[in-house]
Structure 1
């Protein structure tokens, strides 16, 4: 899992920190040419689409009888997914409604062209740069509670072992009953007061997670860096994902696997693929495990080891951060009439497609349209087929920019929050050595990366003969928001 920054409420931050963060964000927006406002013609097109009638009709039955709920981070308004899980004999039926963005975005319209230029939603410390105008992404197209919304409704039937037995994807009008958030749902589950929807999510999510393990798939339960505002200012901390987040992700993965199955059967689609990590990558991860004193018995698969890691333990958290190297090289594979030779996502150990986040990711709109057409026995629309060849390059370019923006935002937040602490001493663990250091900034052949225990910082480290995996004390020597540069100097071992 990549690092990311979440700012809970920047209004509570000290004025100086807020000003430095705002200035740094503007610099990042300019550096990466991030779009600012939507052009007037795009906003007019979005307003037009929001006013249109998207109620029940031919090809879009009324399924507002389904008591769907959404589950997202607190405060989310761009709600892509709503779910309902039912028992069905010894198995389950999962109803999964996905925002039908294609109902609002006409091919080659201003909205369509702008979405292709943006590719995806960008997340910065205290704002989002959305893929679609908020009148749609947080309004007419979002699966907000109590509102009738057009959706692509997936019916996913599972047997008692978690295997898919049938799949349907069709258009419908749905209405979410309530908007749930992760922390509240987890507290209710822990206390035994959760609604039945969340109890079934835990049961099915656990079943699907077990199926993933049997396939040899991996889910990196790595901690993320989080910026939290409180009455004293800001602090950086590590946050391990809640179990309910993983169970919810398993439902999304289930839909993506089902979508890929449909596409491969119909011999047309766009898959998310990831090659198996090479021997060199796995070999390096073994060396990291030895350095961090993480026990990795001969013959144990890396997927099994990763599942044993506890992100609350510093050495395990460091190993999980390094294990993201196994996920490098992901891309998109388009096909029309000839199935790709290896249409597999190695981390999931199965085929997979992106279909569950169309409000935030361009490719999902096209992939969902393919699945609806295949289930109905219809030809895939010409506008989808015409766009397919360009999607991999568009998405890969957008992914690269999003990751670069994410890294820049993390560096900025660390520099802002540490800038008054030059000279202080911290404890941490040496995470990595030369190959991940930005030499243009450091120019030090003996530099590395240190992961602090507190605050939650992963930053550059100067030193001599750095022992990877060593616990040590370091002194902060640079924290410059303008350059987004944070640098520590080695003092001694802990």
Structure 2
């Protein structure tokens, strides 16, 4: 994007937008504020919290998250070893606060995950836990699950140990500051090791045949008199940090598979028809997929600053479909893979923000330390796929609707203005003279503005990857609709 930041017009009061966001909350029935019973249960859980059986607070952990984050699930301390590396990865010990069958267990199962809106965050746990006593804040001693993952010199896993312990983060970093320090050769040993290990894990991903989608981010952020859309490519450190999380999820899946109990994040491989269509699209868009490269290798060659290559990346995203949660129940391991990662994988590293991670951590801790899985945990595992599907659908609906609203709000006073755009998906179907059937068969196309991180629908004829000039016909924040007409 040539201009990744779009600001809502300052001459319009943010209150109008806040009213629209409040209406969106009511329309989509987002979770309500925690009631007094839930807040009291959080206070009781904190008051009764016992120290962990081990103490690793002498290790100088650090966190790296988006700027301003307060619900810190992960902290790390990296070591260079004689035969490779040791990744000490601490994950917030949420099960220490949320006992199976408790009030907090009931409340969090009803929510499923944290919901993110431009004006507020709707937490999975009461803030006393998610942003206070359970968060791995700098300078605070906290309970955590400590994953000690040993890697060889190529970044491959050679050993995994898991304990419940006390840790203390020494520093809270944000991605942009940390990346700048690393670029200026002032990152210190820990950031240098993160980059080194992250690069090795990316190579391991390539060797597995895995793939990463590096699409530009699009987020809504508050500003003084309203909100803005922010779009930008993930920083290298974000990629490296994500690889540490993926590493842990792969290790967790291995533990659960070896013991025959647990829950995995799964995704089927694209079918041959979809892959053939994608291959043909890359040719038509001028960047043919050389079959000597794996799917993941090819995606890493794409430059999303090129509009046509951006379209290819969007088309690639359509192949990553069917993600789900599956309870381990004697299936063939190949049927439990996460195809994009090209390995069995479990959501493990965000228990403050995602329900399923709490249960994965419980399973892994018990199994890694040779303890039996209690029946109430087995029963909970069976419920989790349905709970997570329901909450993911709801959270995605809210997030997408909020972005659509902000985009329409930003553009509402630019009706009639011309823009350059890249077509993501062509319009399909016609009315065919049948008013009852035609509407169902027709579908507007989708496009991405070249100069601004905004997508919208269009009428007219244009193929994916085509650069077009469009005029804005509709931008309605109330209905969250944006429509463009393609100009000849």
- TM normalised by structure 1 equals 0.92
Segments of 5+ residues of structure 2 without an aligned counterpart are 431-435
Q: Does 1:325 align with 2:318?
A: yes
Aligned pair partner of 1:462 in 431, 448, 459: 459
**Is residue 2:444 matched to residue 1:452?**
no
Worse-superposed segment, 207-216 or 315-324: 315-324
Which residues of 2 match residues 296-315 of structure 1 at below 5 A? 296-315=289-308
SS at match of 2:404: helix
Indicate the residue corresponding to 1:82 in structure 2. 75
CA deviation map 1:398-455 (0-9, x unaligned):
1111221221111111001111111100001111124799x99x97936211111122
Tell me, what secondary structure is at the counterpart of 2:312? helix
In the alignment, what sits opposite 2:185?
Answer: 192
Return the match for 2:197 from 167, 181, 204: 204
- Measured at CA, do residues 380 and 430 of structure 1 come closer, stay the same or move farther in structure 2, by a change above 3 Å? same
Q: 1:491 to 1:237 in 2, by over 3 A?
A: farther
Name the counterpart of 1:213.
206
- Between the aligned partners of 2:204 and 2:13, the Cα distance in structure 1 is 46
- Structure 1 contact 13–230 (Cα < 8 Å) conserved: no
Residue from 410, 430, 443 that aligns with 1:417: 410
Q: Is the 8 A contact 1:68 1:177 kept in 2?
A: yes
Question: Residues of 2 paired with 1:13 and 1:357: CA distance?
Answer: 35
Distance 1:435 1:21, change over 3 A: farther
- Is the 1:17–1:417 contact (alpha carbons within 8 Å) kept by the matching residues of 2? no
**The 10-residue stretch of structure 1 (356-365 or 30-39) with the greater mean CA deviation from structure 2:** 30-39
Residue by residue over 1:24-77, the C-alpha shift from the partner in whole angstroms, topping out at 9 and shown as x without a partner, is 222222222111211110010011112224324xxx211101110000000000
Of 279, 282, 292, which aligns to 2:275?
282
The aligned length equals: 479
Counterpart position of 1:404? 397
Which portions of structure 1, spanning 4 or more consecutive aligned residues, are displaced by more than 4 angstroms? 227-235, 336-341
Secondary structure at 1:153 match in 2: strand
Matched-pair contact (CA < 8 Å) for 2:5–2:231 = no
**Superposition map of 1:341-380 within 5 A:** 342-380=335-373
Moved more, 398-407 or 116-125: 398-407
Q: Distance in 1 between matches of 2:358 and 2:221?
A: 34
Cα offset, 1:228, TM superposition = 5.7
* TM-score relative to the length of structure 2: 0.93
Deviation at 1:225, TM superposition (A): 1.9
Unaligned runs of 5+ in 1: 1-5
Moved more, 289-298 or 213-222: 289-298
